Amino acid sequence: MPLEIVTVPCLSDNYAYLVKGPDGVCLIDAPEAAPIQAALEARGWGLDTILITHHHHDHVGGVEALRNRYGCEVMGPAAEADKLPPLDMALKDGDRGGEGEALTVAIAVPGHTLGHLAYHFPNAGPEGGAVFTADSLMALGCGRVFEGTMEMMWQSLSRLAALPPETMVYSGHEYTMGNARFALTIDGTNSALISRCEEVVAKRAKGEPTVPVSLAEELATNPFLRAADPEIRARLGMQSSSDAEVFAEIRQRKDRF
């Protein structure tokens, strides 16, 4: 049985995700309680576990209300435990839980915050795994580098980029339209990017989420993963720079965009 994954829009542009497997129901991030509770009730589901990606309020604001209602276990990055609601289990890179389809592996992806974790379900379904990336790798983008260094964020994105290409990427925000506009300024001759941007516009016009998307598609279109691309380097005049330096330039341009 593949995992059942439900996308729950929260706040103005956040996504939380419910993951139902043989061991129960797990929630990735809790921006606010009400829409998550509604999604659980609509399916007659309880809630067993909350996995927190990082300490920002728009990812943890609903944790206590959900814990009080469902008595679920709360897990999150040990490195940010002092900034998080009390954790029942503190996680670090490489920690794993569950088995079979529900196998979950924590991947440290520092940069946006120093303790940010992504959660990888390598056996999520017959087509491949799923990874919940919150504010690290995002659809056509990546999170702002607040606490870490550009080099650190580049290493984090590189780890995610090395997962199997069929992995489906579930990020924490619906920022894809703005990301698409920016991506075209960096990589505007990339035909895969141009057609993806058209799909993004069509989906948003219908009010549909633009996540998840396969890692293969991100690798072909997300400028933050394409620092090695010769055309992008030429356009930036950075042919002799390191990939991390090219990434840093792209990230800084996005900050000003």
**Sites of contact with Zn ion (CB under 5 A):** 56, 135
Residue 232 C-beta: closest distance to Zn ion, Å: 26
Residue with token string 């007659």: 44
User: Of 135 and 217, which CB lies nearer to Fe ion in the complex structure?
Assistant: 135
How far apart are alpha carbons 134 and 148 in whole angstroms? 16
Q: Which stretch binds Fe ion (CB under 5 A): 3-11, 56-64, 103-111, 122-130?
A: 56-64
Those residues with Cβ within 8 angstroms of residue 122's Cβ, 6 or more apart along the chain or in another chain: 103, 105, 129, 164
Give the separation between CA 120 and CA 95, rounded to whole angstroms.
11
Residue 156: CB minimum distance to Zn ion, A: 13
Nearest approach in angstroms of CB 27 to Fe ion is 15
Interface segment toward Fe ion; rule CB under 5 A; list 25-33, 131-139, 217-225, 238-246: 131-139
Q: Which is nearer to Fe ion, 20 or 173 (CB)?
A: 173
Residues 143-172 that bind Fe ion (CB under 5 A): none
Handedness of CA 118, 123, 124, 125 (dihedral sign): positive
- Does 135 bind Fe ion (CB under 5 A)? Our answer is yes
Q: How far is the CB of 117 from Zn ion (least distance, A)?
A: 12
Nearest to 193 by CA among 172, 169, 224: 224
> Is residue 58 near Fe ion by the rule CB under 5 A?
yes
Q: Supply the minimum distance, in Å, between the C-beta of residue 44 and Fe ion.
A: 29
Question: Which residue lies nearer to Zn ion by CB, 56 or 120?
Answer: 56
20 binds, among Zn ion, Fe ion, none (CB under 5 to 8 A by kind): none
Residue 108: count of CB within 10 angstroms of its CB: 21
Q: Which of 25, 196, 186, 211 is nearest to 134 (CA)?
A: 211
Residue 69's Cβ-count burial label (10 Å; 0-12, 13-18, 19+) is middle
Report in angstroms how near the CB of residue 20 gets to Zn ion at its nearest: 25
Of the pair 52, 244, the CB lying nearest Fe ion is at: 52
Q: Which residue lies nearer to Zn ion by CB, 20 or 56?
A: 56
Q: How many CB atoms lie within 10 A of CB 201?
A: 14
Whose tokens are 């924590």? That residue is 106
Q: Read off the amino acid at residue 71.
A: G
Interface contacts to Fe ion, rule CB under 5 A: 58, 135
